[in-house]
Chain A
Amino acid sequence: DTGVSQDPRHKITKRGQNVTFRCDPISEHNRLYWYRQTLGQGPEFLTYFQNEAQLEKSRLLSDRFSAERPKGSFSTLEIQRTEQGDSAMYLCASSRQVQEGTQYFGPGTRLLVL
């Protein structure tokens, strides 16, 4: 399978704990995006990388959130001191630089904060 993969697919944690999600993009894609989706809503943009550089961050990305893409391949999204409001589906997508509107999404990581 050469699509975008995300790990884990599901995560249950207690409020105040830290969680980390991983995304592996399509190998030849140099752009990687993170979105968040709550129940009944469309996905909301969080941040994106071009290679290893994080080029844009949404105001949704509070200081408890941090994303990295250290070698320009896989990316991690960490949430520190989780809150119940962080419960959502976290989606990763990748694209080629010249076709950035055509983004390929992974299956998502569903986070539940108790």
Chain B
Amino acid sequence: DAKTTQPPSMDCAEGRAANLPCNHSTISGNEYVYWYRQIHSQGPQYIIHGLKNNETNEMASLIITEDRKSSTLILPHATLRDTAVYYCIVRVTAAGNKLTFGGGTRVLVKP
């Protein structure tokens, strides 16, 4: 699976959009981008994934650049409950089964 690079930490204001970047410059054509988050003392939680097109669900939006070398997870209206570590993971689906977590981005939502 391709390596990902994320900033170690970032702050954002409650009620504002939080934009979390991820670089995956060595991503190959059949690798998906997955985002998970882990709230303190809980297990990781799936957020969203995508291959090429931008994706949106009830939790977040995922914007993948045209060259697929980077992506951004957008939390449209951050709340205090969004404070967590966010992990960007690149993996081939249907081949290999583990998720390879990096260090993630520690996001602190401030009132």
Show the binding face of A for B, using Cβ within 8 Å.
4, 31, 33, 35, 41-45, 48, 55-56, 58, 91, 93, 98, 100-108
Contact = CB atoms under 8 A, between A and B. Distances in A.
5 contacts: A4-B43, A42-B102, A42-B103, A43-B99, A44-B101
Interface of B: 32, 34, 41-46, 49, 85, 87, 91, 93-94, 97-104
A100 B32 CA distance: 12
Contacts of B104: 42
Contacts of A4: 43
A63 B47 CA distance: 34
A42 B32 CA distance: 19
B46 A41 contact: no
A43 B49 contact: no
- Most chain A beta-carbon contacts within 10 A, residue among B32, B101, B104: B101
A42 B44 CA distance: 9
Contact of B44 (A43, A58, A101): A43
B97 A55 contact: yes
Contact of B43 (A31, A45, A48, A106): A106
A93 B101 CA distance: 14
B42 A41 contact: no
B57 to A, nearest CB: 11
B31 to A, nearest CB: 10
A68 B79 CA distance: 40
B97 A48 contact: yes
Contacts of A91: 43-44
B43 A93 contact: yes
